[in-house]
């Protein structure tokens, strides 16, 4: 039992041959690997505690920082109700009425993610896009789910022609952007943001999203000022996915300049500035125009705006994803961190941090603040 001892090399045990010696009474003796003549001496670099390793505050790392995977909006429980509504609204159509086969194809997309995409799915979606703003919501819901499918994502998001088929990516991003600009309906804007977020799940959608970042992203960021939690979450999720796309492209060398990341961060900060500007706007009441009704209306507006600016009434998940978008855009680049710091990112993030309940979200905010203070 004393024929071998255990040595430690580079922080691990390995068996080694050792010299057996006899004591005066003939009992076997083995050298202690910790105190003997050939005792283990630690390698300082391999045994350095984690808390003593160099920390790069410009590149914080945690479970949430930087973003490592894309978010998506999948199938929801309301699919049965959506199918009923789809058929009901289809009966109102004349020029763009869906056939029974097309309706069944769209129902496939609403029910499951394992359907086999065919030409009938494409023709049904294309027909549905002819519906007007008052009826197009079910079609939009189907479309954002369709973009999760690899084949349909390629068809609707590709920027390159395939044979005789024209590239449809520019048409898709323009359509979604137009919904954000012109739609008065919150559900349509919510679904447009969700569709943009879902398009990031495949390479064609990611290429589409960064084709003209500055134009599209600012309209998405503008949705953050909405009081609707679902729209806040949809917009913040799309922004987070954009941030990860841009970071990956920068690290892969596909983007030689930092312009797109700077533009994205600038758009987010500008959107937050607008929220603050609303808060600081002075509602002036003239004596001649004073009435109890206008006074109460002003007080209600002040209270509502105050809640928005304090971020206390924001969707909690949206706040965390917004912080993740910001930290991922800033991550590891001095120029972008300097840009953010010059635009008072510390003050903005401190306000968001105060509203975030989850400690992991507060940690992301602290990472951003430390990045800014590192310069």
Task: Calculate the alpha carbon distances from 242 to 58, 129, 132, 217, 319 in Å.
Answer: 20, 25, 29, 8, 16
Nearest-5° Cα angle at 189, 187 to 190: 60
- Digit-coded pLDDT (tens) for 94-140: 999 999 999 999 999 999 989 999 999 999 999 999 999 999 999 99
Class of domain 70-211 as given by CATH: mainly alpha
DSSP string, 291-354: -HHHHHHHHHHHHHHHHHHTTTTS-HHHHHHHHHHHHHHHTT-HHHHHHHHHTTHHHHHHHHHH
CA 55/CA 62 separation, integer angstroms: 12
Q: Supply φ then ψ for residue 6, to 5 degrees.
A: -105, 125
Global pTM reads 0.78
- Digit-coded pLDDT (tens) for 36-68: 444 444 444 444 455 554 578 999 999 999 999
- Digit-coded pLDDT (tens) for 4-18: 444 433 444 444 444
CA 64/CA 367 separation, integer angstroms: 10
Query: First CA to last CA across the chain, in angstroms?
Result: 60
Structure tokens at 372: 């800014």
Q: Mean pLDDT across the stretch 333-351? A: 94
Every domain of the chain and the residues it spans: 70-211, 228-374
- Digit-coded pLDDT (tens) for 241-287: 999 999 998 888 765 555 889 999 999 999 988 876 654 443 333 33
| Average pLDDT across the chain, whole number | 82
User: Lowest-confidence range among 162-171, 176-185, 291-300, 349-358?
Assistant: 291-300
């Amino acid at each position: 039992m004393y024929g071998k001892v255990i040595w430690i090399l580079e922080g691990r045990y390995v068996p080694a041959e050792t010299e057996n010696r006899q004591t005066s009474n003939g009992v076997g003796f083995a050298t202690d690997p910790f105190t003997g003549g050939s005792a283990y001496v630690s390698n300082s670099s391999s045994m350095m505690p984690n808390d003593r390793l160099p920390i790069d505050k410009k590149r914080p790392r945690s479970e949430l920082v930087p973003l490592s995977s894309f978010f998506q909006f999948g199938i929801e429980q309301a699919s049965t109700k959506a199918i009923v509504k789809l058929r009901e609204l289809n009966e109102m159509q004349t020029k763009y009425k869906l056939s029974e086969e097309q309706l069944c194809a769209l129902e496939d997309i609403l029910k499951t993610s394992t359907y086999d995409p065919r030409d009938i799915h494409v023709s049904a979606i294309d027909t549905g896009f002819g519906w007007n703003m008052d009826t197009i919501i079910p079609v939009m819901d189907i479309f954002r789910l369709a973009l999760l499918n690899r084949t349909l994502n390629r068809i609707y998001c590709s920027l390159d022609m395939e044979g005789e088929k024209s590239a449809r990516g520019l048409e898709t991003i323009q359509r979604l952007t137009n919904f954000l600009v012109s739609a008065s309906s919150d559900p349509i804007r919510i679904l447009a943001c969700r569709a943009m977020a879902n398009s990031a799940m495949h390479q064609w959608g990611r290429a589409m999203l960064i084709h003209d970042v500055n134009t599209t992203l600012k309209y998405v960021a503008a949705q953050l000022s909405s009081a609707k939690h679902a729209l806040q979450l949809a917009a913040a999720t799309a922004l987070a996915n954009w941030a990860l796309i841009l970071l990956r492209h920068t690290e892969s060398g596909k983007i030689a300049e930092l312009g797109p990341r700077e533009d994205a961060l600038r758009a987010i900060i500008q959107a937050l500035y607008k929220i603050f500007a609303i808060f600081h706007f002075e509602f002036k009441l003239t004596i001649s125009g004073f009435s109890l009704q206008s006074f109460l209306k002003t007080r209600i507006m002040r209270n509502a705006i105050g809640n928005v600016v304090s971020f206390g009434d924001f969707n909690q998940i949206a706040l965390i994803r917004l912080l993740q978008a910001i930290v991922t855009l800033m991550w590891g680049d001095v120029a972008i961190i300097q840009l953010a710091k010059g635009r008072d990112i510390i003050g903005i993030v401190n306000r968001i941090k105060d509203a975030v309940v989850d400690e992991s979200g507060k940690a992301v905010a602290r990472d951003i603040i430390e990045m800014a203070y590192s310069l």
